């Protein structure tokens, strides 16, 4: 289908009742597009735009947007992705209508093209867009289709796919902002651009957080036993209702453990995340460590092959794997 617009010359009568918006195409200089329900992308509209002196409108550097309010007076199309500039110097472009444009049979409340360039824009006159019913098949559910938000949501889905489903709980705030921005969308283009820019910055921040490990997956925080290690505790010094408490450190050239190569100065020490499975009324404990943390801080520690040594006073257990060592301290009892 072909449409021709003359910017500055084409006109239509004003709509008298804005609340019950309805364009009277019979009395105006108008164009029309007609399609069948559920058509998809192959319905193309070829448009020629002229200045009021009949010279071609220069489309160099422009982006074409289709805006439409569907026959249900609720669902909207704002498509900034499917315009193709064919001949910019002769003012010619093609628009491949998305399938969402044909979800509902009836006449559009309003349909027109907007030409964008470097923050400026000009809107062409409305055209009569009619969708013929297809009673044989059905399937599309009418909904808003706003490409700036659709693009951002697609990027969000890519991030989830790359980072793992366990990040979804960390993305609740971003998702709510996305949904609120769509819900508050209006005809005002500056408001749409502002909302899109805000979401773009949020998305950029989210990507930076993921890359810097500020957001972590379940694998990063999972706790695991080291080779099913179990330790025995002397409970004699504990009160009746007390339980043994522990903390753990990781270091190289560990204190209290004989080393093949002598170390001078203060060793670098890391406090490690530690949980204890307490069994047999507290007499047996099974330490669990965060494997991701061990790999990051003690990459040379072999989690399946290490020696277990006691300190002389029973306060410490040393897990030695060559140069790296894990020290587990019992704060209120003794190791046996």
* Segment among 11-20, 176-185, 260-269 with least mean pLDDT: 260-269
Higher pLDDT, 83 or 136: 83
* Residue 296: predicted pLDDT: 87
Q: With the C-alpha atoms ordered 258, 261, 263, 264, is the resulting torsion angle positive or negative?
A: positive
Q: With the C-alpha atoms ordered 265, 267, 268, 269, is the resulting torsion angle positive or negative?
A: negative
Q: Tens digit of pLDDT for each residue in 57-68?
A: 999 999 999 999
User: What band does 254 get if pLDDT is binned at 50, 70 and 90?
Assistant: low
* Segment among 15-24, 91-100, 172-181, 215-224 with least mean pLDDT: 172-181
User: What band does 237 get if pLDDT is binned at 50, 70 and 90?
Assistant: confident
Six-digit token string for 258? 């004989």
- Mean predicted confidence (pLDDT) in 315-329: 89
* Residue 323: predicted pLDDT: 81
* Residue 7: predicted pLDDT: 84
CA angle, 78 then 81 then 85, to 5°: 115
- Mean predicted confidence (pLDDT) in 44-63: 93
d(CA 185, CA 143): 13
pLDDT beyond 80 at 15: no
Is residue 251 helix, strand or coil?
strand
Higher pLDDT, 230 or 168: 230
* Residue 187: predicted pLDDT: 46
* Segment among 8-12, 44-48, 85-89, 164-168 with least mean pLDDT: 164-168
pLDDT beyond 80 at 128: yes
Higher pLDDT, 238 or 50: 50
d(CA 121, CA 311): 77
Q: Tens digit of pLDDT for each residue in 159-218?
A: 666 665 555 555 766 666 666 666 665 445 566 667 777 777 777 777 676 666 555 566
Q: Label residue 324 exposed, middle or buried (CB < 10 Å: 0-12, 13-18, 19+).
A: buried
User: What percentage of the chain carries pLDDT values higher than 70?
Assistant: 72
Neighbours of 68 (CB within 10 A): 23
d(CA 314, CA 320): 16
* Segment among 69-73, 181-185, 206-210, 328-332 with least mean pLDDT: 181-185
DSSP state at residue 187: S
* Residue 41: predicted pLDDT: 73
Higher pLDDT, 171 or 94: 94
* Residue 324: predicted pLDDT: 87
Higher pLDDT, 257 or 312: 312
Higher pLDDT, 257 or 157: 157
Q: Quick one: which of 168, 181, 255 has its CA closest to 215?
A: 168
Higher pLDDT, 273 or 169: 273
- Mean predicted confidence (pLDDT) in 261-281: 74
pLDDT beyond 80 at 4: yes
Mean pLDDT of the chain: 80
* Residue 21: predicted pLDDT: 74
- Mean predicted confidence (pLDDT) in 245-272: 68
* Residue 70: predicted pLDDT: 93
Answer for the pair 106, 66: CB distance below 8 angstroms, yes or no.
no
* Residue 178: predicted pLDDT: 65
């Amino acid at each position: 289908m072909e449409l021709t617009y003359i910017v500055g010359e084409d006109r239509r009568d004003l709509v008298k009742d804005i609340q019950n918006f309805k364009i009277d195409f019979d009395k105006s200089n108008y164009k029309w597009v007609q399609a069948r329900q559920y058509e998809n992308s192959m319905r193309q509209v070829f448009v020629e735009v002229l200045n009021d002196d009949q010279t071609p409108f220069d489309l160099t550097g422009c982006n074409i947007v289709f805006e439409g309010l569907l026959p249900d007076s609720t669902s909207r199309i704002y498509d900034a992705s499917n315009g193709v500039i064919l001949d910019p110097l002769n003012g010619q472009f093609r628009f491949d209508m998305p399938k969402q444009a044909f979800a509902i049979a009836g006449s559009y409340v309003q349909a027109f093209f907007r030409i964008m360039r470097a923050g400026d824009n000009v809107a062409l006159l409305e055209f009569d867009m009619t969708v013929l019913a297809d009673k044989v098949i059905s399937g599309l559910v009418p909904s808003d289709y706003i490409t700036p938000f659709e693009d951002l949501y697609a990027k969000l889905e890519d991030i989830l796919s790359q980072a793992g489903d366990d990040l979804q709980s960390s993305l609740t705030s971003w998702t709510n902002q996305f949904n609120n921005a769509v819900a508050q969308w209006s005809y005002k283009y500056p408001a749409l651009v502002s909302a899109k820019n805000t979401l773009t910055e949020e998305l950029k921040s989210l990507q930076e957080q993921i890359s810097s490990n500020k957001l972590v997956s379940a694998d990063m925080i999972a706790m695991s036993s080291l080779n099913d290690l179990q330790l025995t505790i002397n409970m004699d010094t504990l009160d009746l209702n007390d339980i043994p408490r522990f903390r753990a450190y990781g270091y190289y050239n560990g204190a209290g453990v004989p080393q093949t190569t002598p170390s001078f100065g203060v060793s670098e020490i890391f406090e490690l995340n530690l949980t204890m499975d307490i069994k047999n009324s507290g007499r047996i404990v099974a330490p669990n460590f965060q494997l991701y943390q061990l790999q990051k801080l003690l990459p040379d520690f072999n989690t399946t092959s290490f020696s277990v040594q006691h300190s002389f006073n029973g306060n410490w257990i040393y897990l030695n794997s060559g140069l790296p060592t894990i020290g587990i301290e019992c704060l209120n009892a003794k190791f046996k």
